[in-house]
Amino acid sequence: MHLSRLEIQGFKTFAKKTIVDFRGPTKNANALTVVVGPNGSGKSNIADAIRWCLGEQSMKQLRGKKAEDIIFSGSKGKTRSGYAEVIMTLDNSKKTLKIDFSEVNITRRLYRDGETEYLLNGKATRLADVQLLLAEAGIGQRTYTVVAQGMIDHVLTSSPEERKVFFDDATGVRGLQIKRHHSMNKLKNATKNLIEVELILAEIEPRLRILKKQISRLEKREKFEEELKELQEKYYSTQWWDLQNQLTQVKHRLDIVEAQVKEKQADLKAGDDKLMAMEENSKKDAEEDRTGLKNAQAGYKVAQQTLANARHSKFEAERNLELAKVSARSIWAPLPLSSIIKSLDEIISLDPSLGIAKFISFVKKLKDQLTKPNPEDFKPDPKMLEALKVADEHIKLAEMAVKKAEKLIDAESKSSSEVNTELFAVQRKLRGIQHELHRIEQNKNQIQIESARIETRIEGLVTEMLEEIPQTRNAIMAENKAIPDLYPNQTRADILRIKHQLELIGGIDEETIKEHEDTELRFNFLSGQLKDLREAIRGTEKIVDELDERIQKQSEKAFKTINTEFQKYFRILFGGGSCSLIKLRASENSDDPSHVSLDRSMEEMAESEVRANNDDGSDRKDEDESAEDVLVRFKKRRETVSGVDIQATPPGKKLKSLSLLSGGERALTSIALLSAIMATNPSPFVVLDEVDAALDEANTVRFANILDELRKLTQFVVISHNRATMERADLLYGVTMGDDGISNLLSVSMTDLEDVGSARR
């Protein structure tokens, strides 16, 4: 690869478009282009243009203060330029640049408003991409590709650490170093993200644990509710069908007894009719006697009716009492936990000055509420008891009245003159039927009470089912068979136990479910990210390790060769003496700047993350190494070489500090080093701006000889005032400047040199 063309426009003194053509290599050597011209004509501006196009960012290196200083600022005859543009054309037929073009144009443009552009073969690109492309081909804009005027001994005067960058270029590992730098930045960002994600996770994890517990309570609750539903269905279904059966049986018994009542009533009526007929026949015989008997019989009927009414009232009173008992039992339910707590709170907050009696009455009330009523302890409404008592008294009175009426009939019958035994017999039989009817009716009353009791229980059950199992109630009632429950009492106890458990678990609101869902989603997402980050970090670390290995190997080998070559050229230039390059190793704890530094915030974050991890007590698996471990490794991953020291002792002198060398000695040492580098790791082209300025005549010739030797490896563009150098040129350019302050370039031959006017003989 070689530099084939340079196009400069609007750059410093090159206001007009200026094209510098370079020659390609011959079979034996690369072209040597020498630029000559008077002081201030703009020669160095050509070197600056190349340096700038290669991506130089430092304005100091470009001899300016601000970016726009490189744009032609105008002169007497010409107004200032709106932009500066430099296009460098590189012959890439050997594909030294890793790009699929045999000719590569790199364009850099800067406008006065600060807008800047990089183009690669006319296509916009990023500076970093241009730099990487060039670095991989061994062209670095910062170090020895362009050696600026007065900068030849810069490598000697700079610190060992600054020299390191120079030697990275020299040993050809700059491209690898750039890649390493990018990887380290990636690693830094990934580590930073890892710390951040771990911090957020450490914050979310405890909350998620709490939410999980609540959700597991909910699951438990659902399980209990399911179990409760099953038990309740079984229990109520059995209860329902049991009561239905009881009711059918009672109704059947009631039918029978009602039929008996009807039969007896019919018997009674038949007897009555017979009695009346008999009485009609014997009417004429004993008209007056029978008036008394008739009255007695009428009185008996009234007494019987009163007795029947009183018995009915008693039946009503008994039935009411019985139903009240059933209701009292079926409506009882255990007091919910919340109500118990409320009652206890009331008791606790009682004013002590109210006395112990008040306190006891409250406790008793609570105890009553908590105790299931015993049927024997049922306290009916006193009104009901009163009604029963009154009914009993009425019955007693009515029975007495009946007996009295019976006696009166007997007396009247006996006193009758025309005693008709048959009539008496009928009357006695009728009384017998009356007694029988009464006994059956009493039985009927009992059955009716029982029926009402069952119906009330059914009613209570229906209400209870509506409350407890509203969804399945109708299905249970419509079903024509029961779910068998062998131990309903046990089932009832189980139902109460589960209800109690549910009360203890308590409710859970929709918000918590939603929060759990969201938090879990976020947690899983971040955990996934954490995994990806760890993987990315491991991948990048591997890349850095591989790069480090390559850098180490390559730089070790090249450094050794440079060192040997340095000694060779040093002896050529000085005619003896000794010199050496020494690598300075970075000590583990040293605070040198060769490793990628961390942000302060990153350190702080890592510390709090370590604290959070220590607090959360979570077990970490080995493969899930924490950000802390990654960070420790990251910090350790510094470069092993921190700088390069140079020792140089000219012949006949004792080893002394570089700063004590003369200007010429420094220039010779630097040229020796530069030559050693060129010989070891030649840059495709090198621009040297008056590096021979400090050399005496003899050394100028030596330098020219070295250039001649090195052009086999490198294309040189040399700015020089030295004739010895000019004489070796394949191509000589002269730079002139007229009154308009604009540089002009012209191709010259050695014979033209006198016209250019500045060449030293």
| Binding region for ligand ATP (CB under 6 A) out of 33-41, 122-130, 227-235, 337-345 | 33-41
Residue 41 vs 725, nearer CB to ligand ATP:
41
**Of the two residues 36 and 317, which places its CB atom closer to ligand ATP in the complex?**
36
HEC-encoded secondary structure of 333-371: CCCCHHHHHHHHHHHHCCCHHHCHHHHHHHHHHHHHHHC
Of the candidate spans 39-47, 260-268, 314-322, 359-367, the one that interacts with ligand ATP by CB under 6 A turns out to be 39-47
- Record the tokens describing residue 218, joined without a space: 């909910």
Which of 124, 133, 117, 127 has the alpha carbon at shortest distance from 55? 127
Q: How far is the CB of 52 from ligand ATP (least distance, A)?
A: 12
Figure out which of the listed residues 12, 108, 174, 534 binds ligand ATP, where binding follows CB under 6 A: 12
Round to whole Å and give the CA distance between 37 and 575: 32
Least CB distance from residue 200 to ligand ATP, whole Å? 52
Burial group, residue 734, by CB count within 10 angstroms (0-12, 13-18, 19+): buried
CB of 152 to ligand ATP, least distance (A): 14
Please report how close the Cβ of residue 42 comes to ligand ATP at its closest, in angstroms.
Answer: 4
Long-range contacts, 430-438 (Cβ 8 Å, 24+):
430/268, 430/271, 430/272, 430/275, 431/406, 433/264, 433/267, 433/268, 433/271, 434/268, 434/304, 436/264, 437/261, 437/264, 437/265, 437/268, 438/307, 438/308, 438/311
Please select the residue that binds ligand ATP; options are 2, 43, 180, 666, rule is CB under 6 A.
43
**Which CB, 80 or 435, lies closer to ligand ATP?**
80
Count of residues near ligand ATP by CB under 6 A: 16
C-alpha dihedral sign at 487, 488, 493, 498: positive
Which residue, 70 or 134, is less far from ligand ATP as judged by CB?
70
Nearer to ligand ATP by Cβ, of 418 and 755: the residue is: 755
Residues 149-178 touching ligand ATP, rule: CB under 6 A, are 149
* 476 to 248, 493, 598: CA distances (angstroms): 18, 21, 73
If the CB atoms of residues 80 and 209 are measured against ligand ATP, the closer one turns out to be 80
Give the shortest CB-664-to-ligand ATP separation in angstroms: 18
User: Which pair of structure tokens corresponds to residue 453?
Assistant: 């009791």
Residue list 332-371, contact with ligand ATP (CB under 6 A)? none
Phi–psi pair at 198, nearest 5 degrees:
-65, -35
How many angstroms separate the first and last alpha carbons of the chain? 34
- CA 176/CA 163 separation, integer angstroms: 17
Of 679 and 756, the one with the shorter C-beta distance to ligand ATP is 756
The encoded tokens of residue 459 equal 């009613």
Segment lying near ligand ATP (by CB under 6 A), choices 36-44, 49-57, 470-478, 551-559: 36-44
Instruction: Report, in Å, the least distance between residue 666 CB and ligand ATP.
Output: 19
Nearer residue to ligand ATP within complex by CB, 43 or 234:
43
Candidates 2, 4, 42, 668; binder of ligand ATP (CB under 6 A) is 42
Where b means 16+ CB within 10 Å and e means fewer, 457-482 reads bbebbeebbeebbeebbeebbeeeeb
What whole-number distance in Å separates Cα of residue 31 and Cα of residue 2? Answer: 9
Q: Minimum Å distance from CB 69 to ligand ATP? A: 6
Task: Return the number of the residue (42 or 140) whose C-beta is nearest ligand ATP.
Answer: 42
Q: Which is nearer to ligand ATP, 228 or 688 (CB)?
A: 688
Sign of CA dihedral 449, 454, 458, 460: positive
Pairing of strands 123-124, 146-147: unpaired
Q: How far is CA 297 from CA 179, 418, 424, 724, in A?
A: 133, 17, 12, 174
Strand order of the β-sheet with 685-689 is 146-147, 685-689, 715-719, 32-36, 731-737, 743-748
Nearer to ligand ATP, 9 or 44 (CB): 44
Contact 728, 32 (CB under 8 A): yes
282 binds ligand ATP (CB under 6 A): no
Smallest separation, CB 13 to ligand ATP (Å): 4
Q: Does residue 44 bind ligand ATP (CB under 6 A)? A: yes
Q: What are phi and psi of 143, to 5 degrees?
A: -110, -100
Q: Please pick, from the candidates 13, 30, 238, 427, the single residue that binds ligand ATP as defined by CB under 6 A.
A: 13
Minimum CB distance to ligand ATP, residue 729 (Å): 17
Interacting positions 49-88 with ligand ATP (CB under 6 A):
69-73
39 lies in the binding site for ligand ATP (CB under 6 A): yes
State which residue, 70 or 388, has the beta carbon closest to ligand ATP: 70
**Alpha carbon distance 520, 417 (integer Å):** 111
Which string of x and - marks every residue 246-265 that binds ligand ATP (by CB under 6 A)? --------------------
Measured from the CB atom, is 116 or 291 closer to ligand ATP?
Answer: 116
Which one of the spans 18-26, 32-40, 420-428, 446-454 is the region binding ligand ATP (CB under 6 A)?
32-40
Q: Are strands 715-719 and 32-36 parallel, antiparallel or unpaired?
A: parallel
Using CB under 6 A as the binding rule, the residues of this chain from 95 to 154 that contact ligand ATP are 149
- Residues lying near ligand ATP in the complex (CB under 6 A) are found at 12-13, 37, 39-45, 69-73, 149
